[in-house]
Amino acid sequence: MIEYIENGSVTSVKGIKGSGVFCGLKKKKKDVALIYCEKPCSAAGTFTLNKVKAAPIIISQYIINHKHNIRAVLVNSGNANACTGAEGHNDALESQKLVASKLGINPSEVLISSTGVIGQRINMDALRSGIELAVENLSETGGIDAAEAIMTTDLAMKSYAVKVKLSSGEITIGGMCKGSGMIMPNMATMLAFITTDAQIEQDTLQKTLSKAVNLSFNRITVDGDTSTNDMVILLANGVSGISISERSDDYKIFTDALLDLCRKMAKSIAADGEGATKLITVSVKKAASVSDANIVAKAISNSPLVKTAMNGCDANWGRIISAIGNSGIDFDPAKVCINFGDIKILQPNFKADFSEEEAKKYLMNNEIELNIEINTGNEESTWYTCDFSTKYIEINASYRS
């Protein structure tokens, strides 16, 4: 039903143009991304739950809440425009206006987003020139440049697109996102921008986005810190001519495809977490409730002791069961089972007669699975995280975020 497009991006979607340019907010690399929609889009968004919200969050959330149609999204990296007071708010409004005037649209049709250093005014001279350049460079193949321009400490560019076969024809969903520190779901904890040429009205769009975000971006963590600037935006321009309503079979197919794309993006963020050497999938099964499963998966995914053990390829199940014990859920430790991939590590009654060598070999993979059975019920949840390396410390002891 769904097929990923090679070198896919937000501009793989018909009617969407993009660009990514350098204006000097970062030292060398592209730092301004623009998405332009030839036709007005219905739009949905989810935003950080951090009480400290950056100016672009406040402005974009207001627009999404008021269900405005959207024509453009401006994103800058290198500066978060957070904790910058009234001046920072005005800077954000000015950049929104400038995008609108250059594109001949209304400011209320422009979403804005920032990522980078907290607490410093943005260099508006640089940003103004960046906006001009970004508008000039808009193209139907600019999605990859845009994905590059939103990166901060990310090592890998994160851009995808998927074709989805519906009963009435084919639509496309494209997405880009960035990590890779201050990552811990309290909504989404990073930036992601998704486009589609399906036609979906705003309420339905918000519903399907919220569901997908909850099962993907809200289940990743790098360091347990939620940023002041996180947002996920989904734009639907209807250019495919294919309309999706909430009660149709196509809605289910679209929702599944969107979730698949969001999961791919979320996993790419966890895998590229600051200093990460491996992607860790934490699957918690047979829990008394989804809430319990989430609590346990989050506790394991956030435990520095589990994450450092995984970095050292140490089959240290004691730290995993201790993290479960700290999570606050009710369970019997003697009933817990832990598998690394298919390797049985811990069985009921603390039976742990596995081969250390085999376990170590498995943990040396780039992608590993910690499969936990709580044995208090039948609910489950899967989270994604990465290991904790000396490199994470090095990056964060020097980088001013």
Binding mask 54-83 for a second copy (x = CB under 8 A): --------------------------x-xx
316-375: contacts with a second copy (CB under 8 A): 316-319, 321-331, 333-334, 346, 349-350, 352
Distance of closest approach, residue 397 Cβ to a second copy, in angstroms:
3
Position among 108, 123, 186, 289 found at the interface with a second copy (CB under 8 A):
186
Q: Which is nearer to a second copy, 139 or 326 (CB)?
A: 326
Q: Which is nearer to a second copy, 259 or 343 (CB)?
A: 343
CA distance 166 to 273: 35
Write the DSSP string, 52-117.
S--HHHHHHHHHHHTT--EEEEEEEEEE---S-HHHHHHHHHHHHHHHHHHHTS-GGGEEEEEEEE
Distance of closest approach, residue 58 Cβ to a second copy, in angstroms:
11
| Contact in structure between 173 and 164 (CB atoms under 8 Å) | yes
Distance of closest approach, residue 327 Cβ to a second copy, in angstroms:
8
Determine if 376 is a binding residue for a second copy (CB under 8 A): no
Q: Which is nearer to a second copy, 99 or 182 (CB)?
A: 182
Distance of closest approach, residue 131 Cβ to a second copy, in angstroms:
24
User: What is the gyration radius of the CA atoms in the chain, in angstroms?
Assistant: 22
| Contact in structure between 46 and 67 (CB atoms under 8 Å) | no
Q: Which is nearer to a second copy, 1 or 393 (CB)?
A: 393
Determine if 167 is a binding residue for a second copy (CB under 8 A): no
Determine if 401 is a binding residue for a second copy (CB under 8 A): yes
DSSP alpha helix (H) spans, 215-248: none
78-107: contacts with a second copy (CB under 8 A): 80, 82-86, 88
Residue entry with tokens 């734009």 = 235
Q: How many CB atoms lie within 10 A of CB 349?
A: 9
Distance of closest approach, residue 138 Cβ to a second copy, in angstroms:
32
Distance of closest approach, residue 105 Cβ to a second copy, in angstroms:
31
Q: Which is nearer to a second copy, 254 or 331 (CB)?
A: 331
CA distance 187 to 121: 26
| Contact in structure between 219 and 183 (CB atoms under 8 Å) | no
Q: Near a second copy by CB under 8 A, which window of 57-65, 133-141, 244-252, 391-399?
A: 391-399
Q: Near a second copy by CB under 8 A, which window of 30-38, 96-104, 135-143, 305-313?
A: 305-313
Distance of closest approach, residue 123 Cβ to a second copy, in angstroms:
16
Position among 227, 237, 371, 382 found at the interface with a second copy (CB under 8 A):
227
Position among 152, 218, 228, 240 found at the interface with a second copy (CB under 8 A):
228
From the list 56, 36, 21, the residue with the least C-alpha distance to 103 is 36
CA distance 62 to 49: 14
CA distance 349 to 374: 13
How far, CA to CA in Å, does 289 sit from each of 100, 247, 270, 372, 373? 47, 28, 25, 14, 13
Q: Which is nearer to a second copy, 123 or 186 (CB)?
A: 186
| Structure-block tokens of residue 257 | 């495809």
Write the DSSP string, 9-67.
-GGGSTTEEEEEE--SSSSSS--EEEEEEEEEEEEEEEE---SS--HHHHHHHHHHHTT
Q: Which are the contacts of 112, defined by CB distance < 8 A and separation ≥ 6?
A: 56, 59, 60, 73, 74, 75, 92, 95, 96, 99
Q: Which is nearer to a second copy, 49 or 155 (CB)?
A: 49
Distance of closest approach, residue 121 Cβ to a second copy, in angstroms:
10
Determine if 386 is a binding residue for a second copy (CB under 8 A): no
CA distance 31 to 23: 7
Q: Near a second copy by CB under 8 A, which window of 154-162, 179-187, 250-258, 262-270?
A: 179-187
Which positions are annotated as active-site residues? 189
Q: How many CB atoms lie within 10 A of CB 214?
A: 17
Pairing relationship of beta strands 16-21 and 367-373 according to DSSP bridges: unpaired
Q: Which is nearer to a second copy, 18 or 78 (CB)?
A: 78
Residues contributing to the site for a second copy (CB under 8 A): 50-53, 80, 82-86, 88, 117-119, 181-182, 186, 223-228, 302-305, 308-309, 311-312, 314, 316-319, 321-331, 333-334, 346, 349-350, 352, 388-390, 392-394, 396-398, 400-401
